[in-house]
């Protein structure tokens, strides 16, 4: 008899995981902005520079891909994980690609709220603008697909052929119901019983 696999993650848990990751990135972005403003000695009037936030973005998802979980912070806190449609864990390359695709929603927002370095060619700025728009649209399509499709699989799930499941809770160790010894046990053998006295 085949043991049933873990249940698919609910829409609520997946949205909560997305919000946790979004909150984590916003918090880190806010802290980095404070550090950069303290170094500059004045608040930014224009959008903050792009480079520090790209490093922040890459660092956050590099941390998420550390073994053994290879899931984002939001997924870990909500006890869900992405697996292949066969129920196998994702490989490291697959986990990295999935993290990048899943993060497109707030990656687009982050790029919209930063400014590219001065002096870069116009073609690079145009390419960044196109990438930002596509990334944001991909993220929105992921959320819409999660909410409206019967299988609740996102666009990223379909491209990578993955599903998101609940992580089973750890089973506590259970002690045996009764003692594992008898009254006649002894370290070197059975204890001889004294003869019964006749009345």
Q: Is 61 helix (H, G, I), strand (E, B) or coil?
A: helix
Tens of pLDDT, residues 49-67: 666 666 777 777 777 777 7
The answer as to whether 130 is a domain residue is: yes
Domain that holds residue 86: 11-166
pTM: 0.70
Confidence of residue 188 (pLDDT cuts 50, 70, 90): very low
Number of structural domains the chain divides into: 1
Tens of pLDDT, residues 54-105: 677 777 777 777 777 778 888 889 999 888 988 888 888 888 888 778 777 6
Q: Residue 100 is encoded by which pair of tokens?
A: 């990048």
Sign of the Cα pseudo-torsion (16, 17, 18, 19, in order) = positive
Sign of the Cα pseudo-torsion (56, 58, 64, 66, in order) = negative
Q: What is the signed CA dihedral for 90, 94, 99, 100, rounded to 10 degrees?
A: -170
Q: Report pLDDT for 1.
A: 46
Q: Report pLDDT for 29.
A: 77
Tens of pLDDT, residues 18-39: 889 888 887 887 887 787 778 8
The answer as to whether 52 is a domain residue is: yes
Q: Is the CB of residue 82 less than 8 Å from the CB of residue 153?
A: no
Asked if the bond preceding 35 is cis, omega within 30° of 0, the reply is no
Give dist(CA 18, CA 25) in Å, integer.
11
Give dist(CA 61, CA 100) in Å, integer.
8
pLDDT at 136 over 90: no
Say how many C-beta atoms besides its own lie within 10 A of residue 188's C-beta: 5
């Amino acid at each position: 008899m085949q043991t049933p696999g873990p249940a698919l993650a609910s829409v609520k848990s997946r949205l909560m995981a997305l919000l946790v990751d979004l909150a984590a990135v916003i918090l880190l972005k806010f802290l980095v902005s404070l550090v950069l403003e303290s170094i500059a000695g004045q608040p930014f009037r224009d959008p903050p520079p792009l480079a520090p936030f790209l490093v922040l973005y890459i660092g956050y998802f590099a941390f998420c891909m550390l073994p053994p979980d290879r899931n984002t912070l939001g997924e870990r806190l909500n006890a869900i994980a992405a697996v292949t449609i066969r129920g196998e864990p994702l490989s490291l390359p697959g986990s990295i690609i999935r993290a990048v695709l899943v993060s497109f929603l707030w990656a687009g927002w982050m790029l919209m709220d930063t400014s590219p370095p001065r002096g870069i060619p116009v073609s690079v700025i145009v390419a960044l603008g196109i990438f930002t728009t596509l990334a944001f649209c991909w993220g929105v399509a992921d959320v819409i697909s999660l909410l409206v499709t019967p299988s609740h699989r996102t666009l990223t799930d379909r491209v990578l052929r993955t599903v998101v499941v609940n992580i089973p809770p750890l089973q506590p160790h259970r002690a045996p119901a009764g003692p594992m010894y008898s009254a006649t046990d002894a370290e070197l053998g059975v204890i001889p019983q004294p003869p019964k006295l006749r009345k």
